[in-house]
């Protein structure tokens, strides 16, 4: 068999996908299930037994013995509880069983997952429910069934439930608009996502010696090496053999899971890399991104490496993000953000485009929050890109069109019975947006938007359910108006003009990293929310509750629970980091510095004993300098411990804010002393691997 044949066989070999289902399921069952998957009609429960049985047989053939409901609780990672297929029989033997009921519903103990007060302690039950829109797959000999996770009373306890609800909401509104344009054939509109994932690789032998990496996923101390990323010679550089082997293995694992990992390259920072899959529907892309993050770590481990997904593993070196490429597409293959050439499509395109513009300008706080986590505070709004201010890059050509729309003259005509809207003042739309702007947090890149703020370790469910919901809301407003309009074309024109006038302030094509932009954005009235904690309250603003409830994505109770959960997670994260710093200072850094001081003192004494009393000045200077830093360092440890003690507040927001403002800044001060000591102490006495080793020795 040729190599390419091999590859096509391997791709998706561990996935119970449509082609397997088509081959193995009875025709009517397959058709029935496919309608649910493609058109979103409710699943017919009577077919579940047949599907479960077929799934089990397929899995058994591949040596699988267990199954699990695979879900995405609010921890941000995935959870699974394995059950064997076996069922005991009366004669003391077992049969292999998997019923429709077991496929459709599971009952994990919800009390071990974050729920933000939703689940009263007397009702620990939670349910997982099969999400048939994302295919089941086999991993490590376990059949994994993608599910949503809800409470006994039906509230979402996970990341997938609101995502699926938001896709439904957007579908409903987008279809209304397509129908107005005379489209009668499209059955469903989905959002599509391709998430580019950045990550770092370091040698496991270094990782194992760093408590900060083990407990916090990032370095809490570490002086800059003489060479950082200033030469930018790592970006697209040749991939080292060891990494090349890793990437090959990674691709193979992902392909088996049906994840279309496509491009892989070095990133700007040394030791940093990126993986991009081909885009797919948002629910699958979300599952795939979780699988990618898991697989990155697993394959690294097998190769004596550790994959760091943290947003900022190394201070002073570019951090990692996730570029969430997003668009809307019909089931018959039309990308609604594809400019096209036909004027009729232009008007439709411009409506969808301006819906996104209006949505982003109306709900920037929600997007800011959705892209954030504690780790991203080191990037957003810090001295690294992208900035915390949300703006949209459109490129020169589209901006020009938008400006013309603002003045808005258009005529319309009907041709051949088909509705045609021509806008003669507009030039042909650009097919490909050739100019690029890598500084924008939200950039139109030809036929999709690239949301570049997303935290590298974060589930992409959040950013996408926010995006879907706010765009659904604007599409709804547009559809409401257009359905009532006496003159469809005139109303479109009026709508476009209105949206552009009101929301063009969100468009910015310049350098988002410059200080000038920060000032200009303020003048434009764009919010600049500086930290994660400060962005959290936006989730329970009246405006947010209204839009999420309107579209059935999350209700007030669910939003309040999320508010609690993320603040609690912030507190826990910073608490762990602070305690780790205290521990490393007391047990590693300060003792190492003392050891060096002792060596210096001994040297001074020994030299003096020879009678050469005037030859100890260097040792004495070092001894003084280090001792001074040591004194300061010890005081900073105490400051941090006190900040931790005083951070407690009854109100959870105040509690989190105290961590952000007091604890966080004391950590930075302690770090300065710790790093200073690293530059002063004999490297052979330094108790942990340095930046230089971790970043450049792989
Ligand atoms: P970059 O230049 O930003 O590194 P890449 O080519 O690496 O871009 O990644 C672009 C990503 O956008 C890929 O994952 C690709 O599949 C995805 N993409 C392309 N078209 C769409 C679309 N219509 N909807 C969503 N994602 C898309
Ligand atoms: Mg990108």
Q: Whose CA is nearest to atom 11 of ligand 1?
A: 194
Helix axes 617-646, 590-609, angle to 10 degrees: 160
pLDDT of 419 reads 40
> Of all atoms in ligand 1, which is nearest to the CA of residue 325?
26
pLDDT of 120 reads 55
β-pair type (126-130, 105-106): antiparallel
> Of all atoms in ligand 1, which is nearest to the CA of residue 193?
25
Q: Residue 434: exposed, middle, or buried by beta-carbon count in 10 A (0-12, 13-18, 19+)?
A: exposed
Pair (414, 274) in one structural domain:
yes
Q: Show the tokens assigned to 264.
A: 């892989």
Pair (595, 459) in one structural domain:
no
Give me the CATH number covering residue 612: 1.20.120.1560
> Of all atoms in ligand 1, which is nearest to the CA of residue 436?
2
Residue 29 has pLDDT above 50, yes or no: yes
Pair (580, 540) in one structural domain:
no
Residue 523 has pLDDT above 50, yes or no: yes
Q: What is the pTM of this model?
A: 0.93
Cα–Cα nearest to 459, from 261, 309, 296: 309
Task: Report the percentage of the chain scoring pLDDT > 70.
Answer: 91
Compute the CA torsion angle 194, 368, 115, 282 (nearest 10 deg): -20
Q: What angle do CA 458, 461, 462 make, to 5 degrees?
A: 75
Residue 452, preceding peptide bond in cis (omega within 30° of 0): no
Residue 137 exposure: Cα atoms within 13 Å on the Cβ side: 24
> Of all atoms in ligand 1, which is nearest to the CA of residue 194?
14
What does the DSSP assignment read for 77-100?
S-B--EEESEEE-TTS-EEE---H
- Assess if residue 637 is contained within a domain: yes
Question: Cα(276) to centroid of ligand 1, in Å?
Answer: 8
- Assess if residue 428 is contained within a domain: yes
Span 481-507, average pLDDT: 93
> Of all atoms in ligand 1, which is nearest to the CA of residue 195?
14
Residue 269 has pLDDT above 60, yes or no: yes
Question: Cα(391) to centroid of ligand 2, in Å?
Answer: 16
- Assess if residue 562 is contained within a domain: no
pLDDT of 41 reads 83
Helix axes 241-256, 3-10, angle to 10 degrees: 50
pLDDT of 435 reads 62
Pair (639, 598) in one structural domain:
yes
Pair (420, 452) in one structural domain:
yes
Altogether, the residues listed in the chain come to a count of: 698
Pair (142, 253) in one structural domain:
no
Pair (137, 172) in one structural domain:
no
The residues lining ligand 1, judged by C-beta closer than 6 Å to any ligand atom, are 192-194, 196, 263, 276-279, 323, 325-327, 335, 447-448, 450
Question: Number of helices (H) and strands (E), helices first, in the chain?
Answer: 24, 19
The pLDDT tens digits of the residues spanning 48-86 come to 999 999 999 999 999 999 999 999 999 888 988 888 888
Band of residue 249 on the pLDDT scale cut at 50, 70, 90: very high
pLDDT of 156 reads 92
> 114 and 93 in contact (C-beta within 8 Å)?
no
Q: Show the tokens assigned to 32.
A: 């029935």
Ligand nearest to the CA of 285: 1
The pLDDT tens digits of the residues spanning 140-164 come to 999 999 999 998 888 999 999 999 9
pLDDT of 432 reads 56
Ligand nearest to the CA of 441: 2
Q: Whose CA is nearest to atom 1 of ligand 1?
A: 196
Cα–Cα nearest to 288, from 8, 280, 456: 280
Pair (524, 436) in one structural domain:
yes
Span 565-584, average pLDDT: 97
Domain boundary at 525, 554, 583, which?
Answer: 554
What's the helix, strand, coil split of the chain in %, to 5?
Answer: 50, 15, 35
Q: Which residues contact 368 (CB under 8 A, 6 or more apart)?
A: 380, 388, 390, 453, 527, 529, 535, 538
> 134 and 284 in contact (C-beta within 8 Å)?
yes
Question: Cα(211) to centroid of ligand 1, in Å?
Answer: 36
The pLDDT tens digits of the residues spanning 531-563 come to 999 999 999 999 999 999 999 999 999 999 999
- Assess if residue 415 is contained within a domain: yes
Give me the CATH number covering residue 61: 3.10.20.70
Cα–Cα nearest to 189, from 334, 288, 349: 334
Residue 409 has pLDDT above 60, yes or no: no
Residue 527 has pLDDT above 70, yes or no: yes
pLDDT of 410 reads 43
pLDDT of 39 reads 82
Pair (622, 547) in one structural domain:
no
Ligand nearest to the CA of 274: 1
Place of tokens 């399921």: 25
Residue 416 has pLDDT above 60, yes or no: no
The pLDDT tens digits of the residues spanning 314-358 come to 999 889 999 999 999 999 999 999 987 766 668 899 999 999 999
- Assess if residue 564 is contained within a domain: no
Cα–Cα nearest to 339, from 410, 271, 386, 397: 397
Cα–Cα nearest to 294, from 76, 593, 603, 567: 76
Pair (629, 504) in one structural domain:
no
Mean pLDDT of the chain: 90
Question: Cα(253) to centroid of ligand 2, in Å?
Answer: 23
Question: Cα(325) to centroid of ligand 1, in Å?
Answer: 6
Residue 31 has pLDDT above 50, yes or no: yes
- Assess if residue 560 is contained within a domain: no
Pair (422, 545) in one structural domain:
yes
The pLDDT tens digits of the residues spanning 427-461 come to 566 555 556 778 899 999 989 999 999 999 999 99
Domain boundary at 158, 177, 205, which?
Answer: 158
Residue 415 has pLDDT above 50, yes or no: no
Give the least confident one: 34-38, 277-281, 307-311: 34-38
Residue 237 has pLDDT above 70, yes or no: no
> Of all atoms in ligand 1, which is nearest to the CA of residue 445?
3
Span 167-186, average pLDDT: 96
pLDDT of 412 reads 40
Pair (624, 662) in one structural domain:
yes
Band of residue 417 on the pLDDT scale cut at 50, 70, 90: very low
β-pair type (142-151, 137-139): antiparallel
Q: Which domain holds residue 648?
A: 569-696
- Assess if residue 470 is contained within a domain: yes
Q: What is the number of structural domains in the chain?
A: 3
Ligand nearest to the CA of 194: 1
For the chain, the straight-line distance linking the first and the last C-alpha, in angstroms and rounded, comes to 35
Band of residue 88 on the pLDDT scale cut at 50, 70, 90: confident
pLDDT of 234 reads 55
CA 155, 322, 363, 496 dihedral sign is negative
Span 501-507, average pLDDT: 95
Q: How far is it, in rounded angstroms, from Cα 311 to Cα 319?
A: 5
Q: Whose CA is nearest to atom 19 of ligand 1?
A: 279
Helix (H) or strand (E) holding 282: helix 282-302
- Assess if residue 563 is contained within a domain: no
Domain boundary at 531, 554, 577, which?
Answer: 554
Give me the CATH number covering residue 322: 3.30.590.10
């Amino acid at each position: 068999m040729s190599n390419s044949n091999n590859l096509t066989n391997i791709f998706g070999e561990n996935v119970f996908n449509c082609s397997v289902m088509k081959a193995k399921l009875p025709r009517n069952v397959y058709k029935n299930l496919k309608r649910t998957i493609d058109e979103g009609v409710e699943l017919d429960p009577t077919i579940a037994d047949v599907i479960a049985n077929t799934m089990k047989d397929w899995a058994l053939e591949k040596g699988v013995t267990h199954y699990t409901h695979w879900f995405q609780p609010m921890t941000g990672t995935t959870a699974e509880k394995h059950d064997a297929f076996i069922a005991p029989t009366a004669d003391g033997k077992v049969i292999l069983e998997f019923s429709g009921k077991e496929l459709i519903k599971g009952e994990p103990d919800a009390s071990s997952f974050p729920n933000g007060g939703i689940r009263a302690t007397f009702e620990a039950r939670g349910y997982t429910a099969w999400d048939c829109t994302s295919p089941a797959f086999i991993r490590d000999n376990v059949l994994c069934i993608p599910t949503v996770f809800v409470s006994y009373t039906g509230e979402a306890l996970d990341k997938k439930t609101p995502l699926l609800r938001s896709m439904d909401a957007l579908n409903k509104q987008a279809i209304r608009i397509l129908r107005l344009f005379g489209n009668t054939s499209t059955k469903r509109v989905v959002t599509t996502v391709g998430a580019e994932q950045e990550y770092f690789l370091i040698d496991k032998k270094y990782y194992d010696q760093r408590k900060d990496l083990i407990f916090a996923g990032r370095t809490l101390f570490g002086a800059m090496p003489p060479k950082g990323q200033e030469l930018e010679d790592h970006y697209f550089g040749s991939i080292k053999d060891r990494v090349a082997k890793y990437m090959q293995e990674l691709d193979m694992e992902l392909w088996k899971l049906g994840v279309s990992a496509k491009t892989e390259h070095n990133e700007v920072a040394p030791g940093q890399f990126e993986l991009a899959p081909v885009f797919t529907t948002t629910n699958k892309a979300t599952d795939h991104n979780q699988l990618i993050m898991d697989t990155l770590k697993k394959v690294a481990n097998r190769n004596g490496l550790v994959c760091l997904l943290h947003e900022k593993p190394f201070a002073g070196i570019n951090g990692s993000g996730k570029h969430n490429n997003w668009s809307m597409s019909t089931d018959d293959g039309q990308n609604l953000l594809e400019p096209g050439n036909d004027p009729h499509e232009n008007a439709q395109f411009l409506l969808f485009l301006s819906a996104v513009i209006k949505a982003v300008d109306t709900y920037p706080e929600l997007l800011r929050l959705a892209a954030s986590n504690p780790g991203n505070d080191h990037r957003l709004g810090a001295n690294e890109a992208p900035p915390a201010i949300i703006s949209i890059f459109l490129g020169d050509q589209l901006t020009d069109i938008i400006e013309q729309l603002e003045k808005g003259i258009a005529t319309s005509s009907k041709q051949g019975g088909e509705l045609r809207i021509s806008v003669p003042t507009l030039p042909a739309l650009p097919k490909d947006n050739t100019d690029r702007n890598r500084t924008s947090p939200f950039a139109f890149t030809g036929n999709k938007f690239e949301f570049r703020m997303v935290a590298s370790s974060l589930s992409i469910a959040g950013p996408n359910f926010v995006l879907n919901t706010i765009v659904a809301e604007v599409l709804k407003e547009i559809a409401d108006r257009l359905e009532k309009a006496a003159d469809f074309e005139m109303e479109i024109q009026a709508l476009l003009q209105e949206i552009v006038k009101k929301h063009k302030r969100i468009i910015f094509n310049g350098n988002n990293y410059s200080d000038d932009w920060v000032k200009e954005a303020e003048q434009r009235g764009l919010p600049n929310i500086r930290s994660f904690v400060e962005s959290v309250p936006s989730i329970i603003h009246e405006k947010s509750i209204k839009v999420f409830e309107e579209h059935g994505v999350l209700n007030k109770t669910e939003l309040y629970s999320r508010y609690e959960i993320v603040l609690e997670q912030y507190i826990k994260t910073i608490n762990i980091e602070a305690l780790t710093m205290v521990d490393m200072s007391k047990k590693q850094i300060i003792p190492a510095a003392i050891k060096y001081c002792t060596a210096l003192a001994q040297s001074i004494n020994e030299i003096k004993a020879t009678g050469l009393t005037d030859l100890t000045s260097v040792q004495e200077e070092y001894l003084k300098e280090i001792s001074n830093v040591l004194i300061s360092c010890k005081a900073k440890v105490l400051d941090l411990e006190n900040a931790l003690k005083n951070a407690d507040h009854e109100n959870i927001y105040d509690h989190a804010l105290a961590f952000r403002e007091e604890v966080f800044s004391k950590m930075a001060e302690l770090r300065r002393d710790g790093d200073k000591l690293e530059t002063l102490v004999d490297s052979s006495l330094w108790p942990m691997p340095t930046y230089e080793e971790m970043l450049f020795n792989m």
